[in-house]
Amino acid sequence: MLVLAALLALLPLPSATVACASHRATPFAAARSSLAMLRTEPFEQTRRAQERALLEAPQADLRRFLSDDERARFHAYRRPRWMGGLANLLLQGALLALLVRSLGARIYAACARAQERLAATLATREKLRERLQPLSRAMDRLWSAPDWPAALLFAAALAVVEEIALWPASLVFDWLLPRQQGLSQQTLARWMELSMLGLVTQSLGLAALAFGLWGLMRRVRRVWLWLGVPAGALVVLAGLGDPLSLQVRNTLRPLEAGPARAAIESVLERAGVQAEAIDVMNARRDGESLDAFVIGQGPTRRIVLYDTLVEALTPAQLGAVVAHELGHLDRSRAARALAAGATIPLLLWLAGLLLAWSGPREARAGRPGRASRFGFRDGRDVRALPLLLLAAWMLATAASPVANLAARDRELRADLFALDLTRDPASLRGALLQLARKNQLDPAPPALVAALLYDHPTLARRLGLVDAWEAAAARGER
């Protein structure tokens, strides 16, 4: 995956559950209170203290729910996966450092030679050259130089090198290991298809980013304004296109009438949330894991359930899972989307400072000089792209513990909302246990692994919240 994509993923972007729920009066007092809490409306001090006590409830003793053999098997499956995740993180950083020091310059030189060979080939094909001349002239004007083919090839090559370096680990941990554990029926051809699609998408994306960023740097001074503001606006609006892209990538079918659909519609009615559709996604072709999410905004909102989830859970448990996802539909998500949009210009401004600082002293003083120790002459040289990617990787890695901590808190609050809405702790508890068993979740990952890689609370933490809520309800506090 691209480092910039990983960085954006750590930002509070409008992701797969972006929505703004519409609410109406319901007869469920506890659900109204919890929904109002999620919408950041003022609450009495006592209720806030009760809520904090629940969110900080002790972890449950997993020996009540999982056998020793189950816990050992889940840990044995997850341990190599999170070790692979940490190794990938370090490999990514080492590769980017190597690109900055020497490999990037060699790749750019190869791309420049490829441009020369392409120009020589076109020189012998007059008709083709004449047809491409309008495009070539337009690109020359946009890039302000004739070396844009080498720049595009360079950016795409960086994405290819990074993805190929990570492919072996991905093949083992994302394809082979799940198949050996019976968690996936995905064929090697399907894995290769998805990998190649991701590679092409990321190569084109990084090439377009490099062309836009450095092309503007050659023409205007405030790149953070000219590129950052439109890009930030697109980030804010990105959630509107999610339902369409989801249907392009997957096959969706409406959930048929029956107990499961009735349970979900009851939950939607209680929450006062309207959805365009309740769909089932064909997830089994890529794995046996269980999941569900709410996607889209306003009239495009959809409830999407994995087909594996519908088969594994009871109707009441499905209702609890959907109630959890509805717990993410709070006003603060819109605020996080706006914050994400505002972050893009800030990051581009910081990138400009980094590129200016990393250039040679002569370039910083506005005088021509030799190349910097990183192999580029100034910030307008596209050969600075590896340095920018390395900085993004460092920022993303440093920010991941904070981002994951905030994500885990949101997940616990969504669990609390689901409990207040359904008033059915047994169903949420059963759904969490089924998710843990089918997905083979590690019940107790190391603290460092959880901080860097886990954006969901541990099973023990979530079951502890359910136990605490059940006790509070028995006392009449919920």
* pLDDT tens digit sequence for 282-297: 888 888 888 998 877 6
List the structure tokens of 134.
């309008």
Residue 286 · residue 316 · CB < 8 Å: no
Residue bearing the bigger pLDDT, 13 or 186: 186
Query: What is the C-alpha separation between 65 and 443, in angstroms, rounded?
Result: 11
- pLDDT at 249 > cutoff 80: no
* DSSP 8-state symbol, 239: G
Determine the pLDDT at residue 367.
47
**What confidence score (pLDDT) does residue 287 get?**
82
Q: Of residues 372 and 453, which shows the higher confidence score?
A: 453
- Please, which pLDDT band fits residue 9 given cuts at 50, 70 and 90? very low
pLDDT for position 243: 52
Listed by start position, the domains of the chain span: 3-360+373-474
pLDDT digits (tens, 9 = 90+) for 37-86: 444 444 456 677 888 888 999 999 999 999 999 999 998 899 898 888 88
Is pLDDT above 90 for 158? yes
Please give the share of the chain, as a percent, with pLDDT higher than 70.
81
- Is residue 323 over pLDDT 60? yes
Confidence at residue 66, expressed as pLDDT on a 0 to 100 scale? 93
pLDDT at 274: 84
332-379 pLDDT, tens digit each? 566 667 777 778 888 888 887 787 777 655 444 444 444 456 666 667
**Residue 368: per-residue pLDDT:** 46
Helix H or strand E encompassing 434: helix 425-439
**Which run of H or E residues covers position 101?**
none
Measured distance CA(315)–CA(254) in Å, rounded: 16
Question: Residues 21-49: what's their mean pLDDT?
Answer: 51
Q: In the 8-state DSSP scheme, what is residue 258?
A: S
Strand bridging mode 277-281 / 252-254: antiparallel
For residue 7, give Cα distances in angstroms to 39, 114, 393: 27, 31, 7
Query: By the 8 A CB rule, do 325 and 294 touch?
Result: yes
Helices (H), 39-145: 45-55, 68-98, 104-123, 126-143
d(CA 376, CA 360): 9
Asked if 433 and 65 count as a contact pair (C-beta separation under 8 A), the reply is: yes
How far apart (Å, rounded) are the C-alpha atoms in residues 437 and 435?
Answer: 6
User: Is the pLDDT reported for residue 222 higher than 70?
Assistant: yes
Q: What is the three-state SS of 176-198?
A: HHHHHCCCCCCCHHHHHHHHHHH
Query: Kindly report the CA angle at 208 between 219 and 12, in degrees rounded to 5?
Result: 100
Q: How confident is the model at residue 14 (pLDDT cuts 50, 70, 90)?
A: very low
